[in-house]
Structures are given as C-alpha cells and as structure tokens.
Amino acid sequence: MSPERANTREALVEAGRTLFARHGYDGASIRAITRRAHSNLGAVTYHFGSKKALYGTVLDGVFDPLRQRLEPVASGPGSPLERMDGVVRTFFSHLAENPDIPQLLLQQIAAGRRAPTAVVRTMRGILGLLSTIIVEGQQDGSIRPGDPLLMSLSVIAQPVHLTLVRPLARQALGIDLDEPSQRADLVEHAVRFARAGLSATESNPS
Amino acid sequence: MSPERANTREALVEAGRTLFARHGYDGASIRAITRRAHSNLGAVTYHFGSKKALYGTVLDGVFDPLRQRLEPVASGPGSPLERMDGVVRTFFSHLAENPDIPQLLLQQIAAGRRAPTAVVRTMRGILGLLSTIIVEGQQDGSIRPGDPLLMSLSVIAQPVHLTLVRPLARQALGIDLDEPSQRADLVEHAVRFARAGLSATESNPS
DNA sequence: GGGATATTCATACGAACGTATGAATCAATC
DNA sequence: GATTGATTCATACGTTCGTATGAATATCCC
C-alpha cells in the first residue's frame, strides 16, 4: 500500500492547500483535491463533513504559523527600525518558503466573501505587532509621525504585493523574481524602501 | 421598451465588467451576466462569440484608460518627485472612480492564467512611465539610487495594495477606508510614504 | 409594404460540480 | 478467528455551467 495512504486526512489538507491556493475556493473541486491526495471522492465529506470545513482547516494551518514566526522578531532586541527590517525580511522568507500563503490570501480577497477567522486573526496580529514597533519608534524619534496603522499597511504592502505580483511581472516584464539573485535584490530593495518610508529624517512636514 | 435595450452589446460589457470584477472569470456565469443586462442567455454568444471574448472586451475598455490618464501626469511639468506624487494621487483617484479596476486586476492575478494583452500592455506602460521619472530623478540627484523597476513596483504597491486590502481592513480592523475623510488621510499617507521611500535627501518642499 | 438582414429568445446537450448513500474493505479487540 | 467500528470506494442525484441550434421577432432598405 502507498506510504502516504497512512493519513488520508493530512493528505487532503495538503492537497487542499495547494489547490485552493492555485484555483481559489470555487475553482478547486473536491474531485481534484481527492484525486491529488490519492484518495476517493467521498473522503472530504467523511473526514471534514464539507468542502468549507476543509477550507477552514487549511487556512488555520497556514496563517497562524506566519504570525507566530513574526512575533519574536517584532518583539525581540534591536531598535525599532532594525526590528522592522527583520519583520520585512522574515515576512519575505516565510512567503518564499510557503508559496501557498500569498496565493491563499489573494484568493480570499478576490472572493470577497467574509474572511475566515484565521485570516482575520493573523491580519490583526501582524498589524498589531508592526504598529507597536512604529509607535515605539515615534516615541524615540527614529520613525516619523503618521498613523501607525496606515504605516504598517504600507510596510506589509512591500512583501505581500511584491510577492503577489511576481507571476504578472514575469509575463509582462520578463523578469523572474524567483531567481535567487534577483530575489535577494528584491528583498534588499523592499527593506530599504520600507525603512526610507518610515524613518524620521531631518525635516518633516506636519 | 426598456431604454437600455437600445444597445445590448454595451449592456453586456457593463454587466460583464461588474460581475467579472465581483466574482472572477469563472465565477461570473453567462447566465448571470445576461440576466443583469436584461438580455437573453444567447446574447453573449451572438455578440461576442464566446465568454472569453467578452472578457477581453471588458478588460480592454477598463485598463487602457488608466494608462492614458497617468501618461500626461507622468510626463507633465514639475520635478520628478512632484510628478511622482501626482501619479500616486491620480492612481488613487482613478481606482476610486472605477472600483472595478482593482477587483479585475486582483481576479486576474488570482486566476493565475496568462494575462490578457490589455493587462500586460497597461502594466508595461505604467511601469515604464514611473521608471522614466525615477531615472530622471536619479540623474538630477533628487531620487536615491536603486533599480528603477523595483522602485516603481514599490510605488505602485501603495495605491494598488491599499485599495485592494480595503474590504479586509474593514472586516479585520473595523476601519472604513472608503469614508471620505479617512480616504483623504490614506492618500496623503501613501504619497508621503512613496516620496520618503524614493527621495535621496530629506528635502520636503511645500 | 415586403423581403432581406439583424437580433432576440426558448430550449437542448454534455460536462462538471457538491453532496448523499450504502456496500466493501480494513484494523483492532476479545 | 469472529465481531465491531473506522475508513474507503463506487455510484447516484439534482444543479449549474458554456455553448449550439433553430424558430420567432425586430429593423432596415427599396
């Protein structure tokens, strides 16, 4: 018997993660998911009760670790700007190591449906971490004034947007941001851009 | 007779724009589109030949005007940084006046399929405009060194990402970025963030 | 006003969808 | 080794999908 058959439930979650990310909730059929998991059409109904329940399980397993990984970086040692650099780098790394995450997030936004709790929880958590750093930096004078929440959104936009737009950039511009050296340049650029966007410089209009 | 019945083709494009934006290509059924256009199931096949052809027509009519509107702003008078501010503001305005655009772009990226020519053309055009400004600013010393293409992507990320993430922000954070005063703050923030991310010195005129 | 053309409309087809059902098979306990 | 519960599997149901077809109706030109 095949080795992965040992845990059908796990195989379904993994196949679901890949296919939900690739084709969205509606676009990923139970037939395709069970086929990819080397399982049977009835397996999703049996193990999860419904397609939607499988989707929720997939999201829980994918989004929570992201927040957990950013947390120590954000509240660790270093100046606010240094910690912010770390968050951006870690964000990039995590998205690169888990390519399904940005896709799932994208599919979720595109669907326009009410976001599952895992997504909301993660978003609140991450923006909270960043806002805390920014407020701290504003207090010690290293970060310029401004709404911490909006600034956090702009910072997050760097790794998220640049990761999401990758396939389009490849097709429209012919640049492959997955290629390691280009990717390193991309991360360095994003860190610098975010830092420049935040840091308090000599003069600032208020 | 109903007044809109005068031009079925137009009504189909409009209904298609709304529903493709709202539900994606696969999610917007011909039945829903023709129903919304107060037309008949066969109308899409008759006027466009296929669903895909209607989709292409919708994208052409939506993306080309964006580039055309940004062009005079980018190549108009003013310093590079000032023109960049103008581009960001104009981008926000255009997205706000045409709420289907970010949705359509999002659906397109989410689908992961090869992007239609209208999308590719618009993306190339806009990034070309921004890169030109940035190169110019780097030559006159007002914009810091760096890959002009990556910098352009980071600038674009501000209006695009902040517009796309709006519904999620409302649900997860309880902030309504559509509300006029909040929206004005958002635009001002994005302009400042982009400028700070680009500018070589801390010079902040006005 | 009548004949040609353009457009609308009702209907049909095969395919794919999520889910339900019940039999077949496996695993563990006694 | 039989029994029991967990899991797998084949199959069926009703719905919706994109497209095709041909009749019905509207529009236009002479």
pLDDT digits (tens, 9 = 90+) for A91-100: 999 999 998 9
The pLDDT tens digits for B137-186 are 999 999 999 999 999 999 998 888 888 888 888 988 888 888 898 999 99
List alpha helices for A37-116, DSSP H.
Answer: 43-48, 51-74, 80-97, 100-111
DSSP 8-class letter at B140: T
How far apart are the C-alpha atoms of A62 and A44, rounded to whole Å? 19
Percent of chain A with pLDDT over 70: 95
Instruction: Identify the pLDDT of residue A202.
Output: 43
Q: Which residue has the tokens 């050296």?
A: A181
Query: Using the beta-carbon criterion (under 8 Å), do B154 and A193 form an inter-chain contact?
Result: yes
Query: Using the beta-carbon criterion (under 8 Å), do B24 and A146 form an inter-chain contact?
Result: no
Q: Is the CB of B7 under 7 A from strand D?
A: no
How far apart are the C-alpha atoms of A122 and B143, rounded to whole Å? 35
What residues in A contact B85, CB-CB < 8 Å?
A: none
How far apart are the C-alpha atoms of B137 and B135, rounded to whole Å? 5
Contact of A113 with chain B, judged by CB distance below 8 Å, is answered with no
Q: Check pLDDT > 80 for residue B116.
A: yes
Instruction: Identify the pLDDT of residue A4.
Output: 42
Q: Check pLDDT > 70 for residue A8.
A: yes
Nucleotides of C under 7 A from a protein CB: 7-12, 16-22, 27
For B158, the token pair is 């501000």
- CA-based nearest distance B154→chain A, Å: 6
How far apart are the C-alpha atoms of B55 and B200, rounded to whole Å? 43
Contact of A194 with chain B, judged by CB distance below 8 Å, is answered with yes
A160 close to B161: Cβ distance less than 8 angstroms: yes
Worst-scoring range by mean pLDDT, A13-17, A198-202, B96-100?
A198-202
- CA-based nearest distance B73→chain A, Å: 22
Label residue B124 exposed, middle or buried (CB < 10 Å: 0-12, 13-18, 19+).
middle
Instruction: Identify the pLDDT of residue A115.
Output: 83
Query: How many alpha carbons fall within 13 Å on the CB side of residue A31?
Result: 1
The pLDDT mean for chain B works out to 90
Instruction: Identify the pLDDT of residue A146.
Output: 93
Of B103, B110, B161, the CB nearest to A157: B161
Q: Which residue has the higher pLDDT, B204 or A171?
A: A171
The pLDDT tens digits for A103-121 are 898 888 888 888 888 889 9
How far apart are the C-alpha atoms of A59 and A53, rounded to whole Å? 10
Sequence length of chain A is 206
Contact of A154 with chain B, judged by CB distance below 8 Å, is answered with yes
B16 close to B28: Cβ distance less than 8 angstroms: yes
Sequence length of chain B is 206
Q: Would the CA dihedral through B35, B38, B44, B45 be positive or negative?
A: positive
Query: How many alpha carbons fall within 13 Å on the CB side of residue B164?
Result: 31
- A126, B121, B158, B168, B192 from A197: Cα distances, Å: 19, 29, 11, 23, 8
- CA-based nearest distance A176→chain B, Å: 12
- CA-based nearest distance B200→chain A, Å: 9
Q: Which residue has the higher pLDDT, B3 or B21?
A: B21
Query: Chain A window 29-88: which residues touch B at a Cβ cutoff of 8 Å?
Result: none
Query: Using the beta-carbon criterion (under 8 Å), do A161 and B162 form an inter-chain contact?
Result: no
Residues 6+ positions from A72 with CB-CB distance below 8 Å: none
Query: Using the beta-carbon criterion (under 8 Å), do B160 and A160 form an inter-chain contact?
Result: no
How far apart are the C-alpha atoms of B70 and B129, rounded to whole Å? 8
How far apart are the C-alpha atoms of B134 and B100, rounded to whole Å? 29
pTM across the whole model: 0.86
Q: Is the CB of B45 under 7 A from strand D?
A: yes
Q: Is the CB of A117 under 7 A from strand D?
A: no
How far apart are the C-alpha atoms of A150 and A193, rounded to whole Å? 15
For A193, the token pair is 């851009």
